[in-house]
Amino acid sequence: MPAMKELVKGVDRYKHFIGGQWVESTVKEWIDVENPATEAVIASVPNGGADDADRALVAARAAQPAWEALPPATRGQYLRDLARLILENRERLARIVVAEQGKPIQEARGEIEGAALYLTYAAEEARRITGDIIPSDMPDEQIWIQRVAHGVVVGLTAWNYPAALMCRKMGPALIAGNTIVIKSHEGTPLSALEIAQLTVQADFPPGVVNVVSGTGENLGAALVRHPIPRLITLTGSVRAGKEIFRSAADDLKLLRLELGGKAPFVVAEDADIGAAVRAAVLSRFENCGQICICNERMYVHRRIAGEFTERFVAAVEALKVGDPTLLVDVGPKFSRPELEKVERMVERATSSGAEVLTGGGRMAGEAFSKGHWFQPTVLSVEDNQMAIMQDEVFGPVVPIMKVDDFDEGLRLANESRYGLSAYVFTKDMRRMMRLVRELKFGEIYVNRPGGDAVHAHHAGIRDSGIGGEDGKYGLDAYFQKKTIYVNYA
Ligand code: NAD
């Protein structure tokens, strides 16, 4: 089989993975992949186009009937084998994630373990692909409702968790009997291509998994527009979600759109302040603030705001920012446009009255002369309508606002066009029950930092998307229902 990459002028140039083979793109253009910490070009990938989309989807379609015909437990065994290989290659894959995405190495190791877990969880579901048998209103008749595969799935993933997001989609898609074409974000394509290579080692039938590289605008749009895929699953921005929604309308394709967030973090007057500070720091600064469920805006009861803010700012100032290949807390932003976006948001906030409590700009000094570094930043604000309180930052910046009581905290938390996740710290049972009832978010963390379970459900409402992933509800999206009326009179 042709090699997955070749060395061109000292840089690895990858190919597409289509039909179990490493193939050249028909478009002879390449995208440079940059290390966010050093700005060095670490590899290049094809800037794929419509022909590549077509080849990958045709290969996926050809492989699908035989894949669906396998017993689910056999499909599960392939997923387990792949998960084992991913774990055997944990360190190598984690270092690739650090190089292409910039998260600290210990977080990247966690991402690779998470990627394997998505696959083993999906494999566990193999023996629970059940349907219904229901009585008919007619004599001598039964009605069966089966869950069957859609056919071909397209998975489009964001740059913040390139390996984990691929497996979060691939696991349930494949166990349900679909085949898949994955396109990672063009800035972070490498870990997905490396995992594709592991499917060869795991002896996957050709065409079951296909991984192509290119921009969202060209290749992504071509995959969405193509008549073959029945289900498009995107993890990405609201902008992309809306574009895909429009483009998928022509063929009435099914969509799962896992989009952005603007999680509120409400701290009640009775909260355990130490625990709330620790959770607020972790939930904001992990992965340099680039997680859809990150703590994006804080509402702290006026009575404890002084102590909370002092301890929070001290904890933020203690974060170690630096080379993500070492044990640090915060790495670089993923890209120059992302860095500049965060910088603009902070400038706009301060010019509209926000006060900088710590940070506020780019990291200074020789160690940060290359790369996309922003200081961990805390702002104090008084107006919930400011852009910094309403728009997703997706970076190491968090605004704090004092509130007069729990009701105000809840009300302001709900004043958002996003609806993915929310955090609350309170020890009061009545408050806890109220927030569970009244907070309009898909995922609520009470008295703990963020981090979702592979067997739970991760779903946003409003601008945060339509769909949801993980657990039995996430898996169900990868099936369609087929109803059969059996008359045996
Ligand atoms: P993005 O929308 O720019 O890209 C996501 C993917 O979609 C990429 O592969 C991209 O190439 C592709 N794409 C973009 N436009 C497209 C189009 N018109 N047609 C087809 N494909 C297209 O998003 P991003 O910058 O990679 O990711 C950051 C966003 O993702 C943040 O808003 C973050 O909150 C969100 N996110 C959400 C979740 C979740 O589970 N809800 C998880 C991680 C990230």
Residues 39 and 176 in one domain: yes
* pLDDT tier at 465, thresholds 50, 70, 90: very high
Dihedral of CA 145/149/150/156: which sign? positive
Same domain for 104 and 250? yes
Ligand 1 neighbour 221 (Cβ under 6 A): yes
CA pair distance 227, 89, nearest whole angstrom: 36
For a substitution probing ligand 1, which of 118, 218, 292, 293 has the most ligand atoms within 8 Å of its CB?
Answer: 292
pLDDT at 2: 85
In the chain, how many domains are there?
Answer: 2
- Ligand 1: which residue has its CA nearest to atom 12? 216
pLDDT for 263: 98
| pLDDT for the residue 256 | 98
Q: Whose CA is nearest to atom 13 of ligand 1?
A: 216
Going from the Cα of 124 to the center of ligand 1, the distance in angstroms, rounded, reads: 28
| Residue 69 backbone zone (phi > 0: left; psi -120 to 50: alpha; other: beta) | alpha
The answer on pLDDT for 1 being more than 80 is no
Residue 458 resides in a domain: no
**Whether residue 292 sits in one domain with residue 241:** no
**Ligand 1 mean position, distance from CA 406 (Å):** 34
Q: Which residues participate in catalysis according to the annotation? A: 258, 292
Find the 237 Cα to ligand 1 centroid distance in Å: 4
Is 80 exceeded by the pLDDT of residue 99?
yes
pLDDT digits (tens, 9 = 90+) for 426-464: 999 999 999 999 999 999 999 999 999 999 999 999 999
Q: Are residues 255 and 271 in the same domain?
A: no
Residues 62 and 177 in one domain: yes
Considering the domain architecture, whether residues 149 and 239 belong to the same structural domain is answered as: yes
Name residue 330's beta-bridge partners.
321
| 429 and 324, same domain (yes or no) | yes
Nearest CA, atom 40, ligand 1: 258
- Beta bridge partners of residue 445, listed in sequence order: 423
Query: How many angstroms separate the alpha carbon of residue 235 from the centre of ligand 1?
Result: 5
Helix (H, G, I), strand (E, B) or coil at 446: strand
**What pLDDT, in 10s, does the model give residues 314-329?**
999 999 999 999 999 9
- Residues 34 and 151 reside in one and the same domain: yes
Point out the ligand 1 atom lying closest to the alpha carbon of residue 458.
Answer: 40
Report the separation in Å between the CA atom of 239 and the middle of ligand 1, taken as the mean of its atom positions.
8
Say what percent of the chain tops pLDDT 70: 100
- Rounded mean pLDDT of 330-341? 98
Same domain, 387 and 251: no
Joined together, the tokens standing for residue 300 give 């702290």
Q: What is the mean pLDDT of residues 113-136?
A: 98
Taking only the tens place, the pLDDT of each residue in 368-390 is 999 999 999 999 999 999 999 99
Atom of ligand 1 nearest to the CA of 292: 34
pLDDT for residue 18: 98
CB-CB contact of 229 with 58 (8 Å): no
Mean pLDDT of 283-289: 98
Q: What is the CATH number of the domain that holds 318?
A: 3.40.309.10
Residue 260 CB less than 6 A away from ligand 1: yes
What is the number of the ligand 1 atom nearest to the C-alpha of 158?
26
Instruction: Using the atom order of ligand 1, give the atom closest to the CA of residue 464.
Output: 41
Q: pTM above 0.95?
A: yes
Let me know whether 232 and 276 are in one domain: no
Residue 264 has pLDDT above 90, yes or no: yes
Tokens 């059969």 identify what position? Answer: 484
In a shared domain, residues 11 and 144: yes
**Enclosing domain of residue 389:** 263-453
